Structure 1
Amino acid sequence: MMIATAPPRAKLIAYSACLILLALSPLFLSEFRLSLLGKFLAYAIIAMGIDLIWGYTGILSLGHGVYFGLGAYCMAMHLKLVSTPQGLPDFMSWSGVESLPWFWVPFHNPLFAFLMALTLPMIVAFILGYFTFRNRIKGAFFSILSQALVIITVTLFVGQQGYTGGTNGLTNFETFLGLNLRSPSTKLLFFYVTLAVVALVLVLCSFLVSSRLGKILTAIRDGENRVRFIGYNPVVFKVFIYCVSAGLAGLAGVLFVLQEGIISPAQMGIVPSIEMVLWVAIGGRSTIGGAVLGALITNAAKTTFSEAYPAWWPIMMGAMFIVVVLFLPKGIVGTITHYLSNWKKPVLPKAVSSQEAR
């Protein structure tokens, strides 16, 4: 995929070709591999959101696992209630909870669950972003605060076992809108739904970064004080794009739990949050298409290495990250585009001095 500085026509061709190839993947992938690809596409949505705030705005968030987990838990609560005819989920009975908590009741409605999966991460992001950006907290300090948010959230979800399922999380889902979640046809449907959402988010993010808003975000990244001096309030733009990124992570959580069938605090911890940033770094910062490619390649490599070399795959993944940082600092797509742009530059004729002219 091409980066944002590539010609619009070239980007359109590259995006279309990749989406068509992904749409044809059910023809040559097994059901298991297709399920993995659907999960990786959900991750790609998170990567695009992180690229908006990190690649274009300069905000390094190491806590996006929280927003992903909140979105997934909201949908999982609905799925668990639908799969519990007696009205009280099994883990609540084991924990001594006698009646369904009041905040679980509205999640009987699938529309409410979906809306909460989008708005709850955005609300949390707004609270964190507003107070930190208003006080001009940025850089490593903001990254540390985002990790603190992860620790607090994970601890809360693990400790409240009677309401969240504890370390086991929420699982054992059966149906969604009358569809059997374990049916191959349902899994295929969710794959195409996820692919369609990825395409829509790709268009949305490309539009945002190529608009006037995108230029302001890039200016904030390169010189926030200058943006403030010319009359713009960086806090408004940073909070807005941070909330958008959190909402995309929540949307990814919804699509993930529908395909994976489980969500637990471990999937929203510090390690997953850092991995999400690595997807963008490997694919290429400031490249929306690169963020998608990075998420797909990194997770595919992780699966391949873990299957082929169960004892060595963490070392192999670490080596891959080191190679990319040392030799591809602009990421895969950024490096390719850099060399293509230099290769296409016209060679200017050598200037002729006045003496040579004589």
Structure 2
Amino acid sequence: MSTNLPIRKIIHIDMDAFFASVEQMDNLELKGKPIAVGGGGKRGVVSAASYEARKFGVKSAMSGNLAAKLCPELIFVRPHFERYAEISKKIKKIFYDYTDLVEPLSLDEAYLDVTENKKGNPSATLIAKEIRERIYKEIGLTASAGISINKFIAKVASDHNKPNGQKTVTPEDVIPFLEQLDIRKFYGVGKVTAEKMYQLGIFTGMDLKLKTIDYLDTHFGKSGRYYYYVVRGIHNSEVKPNRIRKSLAAERTFGENLSSEIFMLEKLEHIANEVSNRLSKSKVSGKTITLKIKYSDFTLQTRSKTLPYFISDKSIILETAKDLLFQEKLNNSVRLLGIAISNLNTETVKTPESKSISVQLKFEF
């Protein structure tokens, strides 16, 4: 174990209900009302919900029908992804005024390493506060932030005082913060894993910390080692300003279930065209084509094929997807089709993450 590792100052910025907030900003009639982006129609799915809608239990990935039942006054809004991307670029431009070490996770969140920053400000807490104030003043949206010694804790902390708040976990507060934390709040612990941990008597970070690495490996496989280290405040992944894209995909949910492959070919052509356009815009190509099929009973199936060369051309993507579609008989009628391209020409060889343990140091945070 090394005691010479530097303590980083990491900020995780997370926009508050981003898609919904942009819609409310652009249409003042929606301000203060429960809205859901997407989700319209009997087969729709909610992409994002405003905080007014969340009070009723409406959340992303929920069916539009269920959302409407939970909140009868819910307003469904068609998504405007180009607008979200436009606003996201403006937000990231603010980030770069403080550091070049910015790692976007999506349109609405990013990590910033401000250990050394362009403002010469030793306080990551004050930098996060200033960034949030600028986002609100210059763009009109609110953001939340988490500040700590690594990406994992900053990510967890950003959810602590949402919306429009921030939480700093200083080096000396890391262990107490993690020990009292509900296991469901740990980034990387999903609903299924949380239920499994509950069955094993693991409810808080302290409970998790009492388990040996062998015990966690036995019950959680490769993830066990991750849980063992993060509950001790150990997560040495650096902020990567040029985050490598691993895959690119597009999919469609149909208004009516499709029961024949013939009816799906036209849909596949549109999806293949979208994937090809996205590859072109991103200036990447890939070797592995994966066809995603979601049946009417919500079971999911994927079929993949890896080519000996990189491709981005629509015709090749479409022909490969067709081959995969006809590869075997469908199990049921189909509600969704998707095409993903992976094994991209952007991928590089990864090095194992250090397992060193960083010591707690007291300095301005």
**Comparing both structures, which one devotes a greater share of its residues to helix?**
1
TM-score, with structure 2 as normaliser: 0.23
Structure with bigger RCO (C-alpha 8 Å, 6+ apart): 1
TM-score, with structure 1 as normaliser: 0.23
**Comparing both structures, which one devotes a greater share of its residues to strand?**
2
